[in-house]
Amino acid sequence: MSDKVKVGFIGVGLMGHGMAKNLLEKGHPLVVKGNRNRAPVEDLVARGAVEVATPREMAAACDVIHICLGNAPQVESVFRGEDGILAGMRDGLIVVECSTSDPNVTLALSAELGERGGHMVDAPLGRTPKEAEAGTLDAMVGADPEVFQRILPVLDCWAGNINHVGPVGAGHKMKLIMNTIAMSYAALYAEVTSLGAKVGIPPATIQRVIGSSRLGNGFFNTFMDYAVNRNRDAHKFSVANASKDVRYALSMAAEAGALSPMASATRQYFTQIEAQGHAEDYVPWIADHIARMNGLDLEEEAKKGRD
């Protein structure tokens, strides 16, 4: 695939803006679809992107389309209907689906795309908006081998770690496994942070001891950057999205007949926080909610032992 193929991008939010910016900077003509948040769209247009009104218009103009949306119904909505991708696409279109979505939806849309001469690549993302802006995201890719090789130069524009994990659908399955691990970590870290505070071990001590041990990891560091250092932007990923991802993972487990009691417990943490009206809080903020359930003020506890 030529380095200069025309690329469309639907969903230029927290992650999508940085990805689209990097595609532009690597020389790809870029087409974007506007949304309610005008700031990232206008920034990209100022950098040279062209804005269109519908996915259909984008599909008629582009060789590759990226989708980076919040859930499976949103993804379906940009494919189907008189203004959707399927209505306007030309033969050979490759759609790179970067949302964290339901693998069954991915496979169904892949079949519909294939009937019209197109190709689906599911390439959900790992890491944060910081890496999106830097062009160093993780990508776990589901695609036919030949299509993967064709699209790899485009993925290289915004990803620093690319793993081809299997055929179409495998990328989204892998992402659900990854996010189940991450959100289970989040629930566990929130719980033990409060436990430590209740028994006289300040959050800063947990951060220092665990972070310097073999149990430390990047997600722990990010989570505790909020829980202890109170960096509200440490991980810009909402409770609503976390809950949705674990829900998709549990559905996948049920279809596979796989035991999932820990994932079920993780979902309950996020469902409870959603029910309390905090769906748009970022994931590390659950440490505050769990602390309050334990009769603690994490803001005050975090000051203890902190440099």
Q: Which one of the listed residues 175, 198, 236, 303 is annotated catalytic? A: 175
What is the share, in percent, of the chain residues with pLDDT greater than 90? 95
Q: Tell whether 297 is covered by a domain.
A: yes
Residue 306: inside a domain, yes or no? Answer: no
Q: What is the dihedral of CA 182, 186, 187, 188, to 10 degrees?
A: 90
106 plus 225 within the same structural domain: no
- Structurally, how many domains does the chain consist of? 2
Say if residue 94 is in the same domain as residue 231. Answer: no
Q: What is the CATH number of the domain that holds 48?
A: 3.40.50.720
Q: Which residues of the chain have pLDDT under 70?
A: 1-3, 307
At residue 307, the pLDDT reads 62
Local structure of 220: helix, strand or coil: helix
Please tell me whether residues 185 and 252 are part of one structural domain.
yes
Among candidate residues 167, 185, 205, the one where a domain is terminated:
167
- Judge whether 1 lies within some domain: no
Is 4 designated active site?
no
pTM confidence score: 0.92
The residue out of 142, 167, 192 marking a domain boundary is 167
Q: Which of 125, 134, 128, 99 is nearest to 225 (CA)?
A: 128
- Scan for tokens 């490759």, then name that residue: 94
Looking at residue 1, its pLDDT comes to: 55
pLDDT score for 4: 83
Q: Are residues 178 and 281 in the same domain?
A: yes
Question: Could you tell me the residue range of the domain that residue 285 belongs to?
Answer: 173-301
Q: Single out the residue in 145, 167, 189 at which a domain terminates.
A: 167
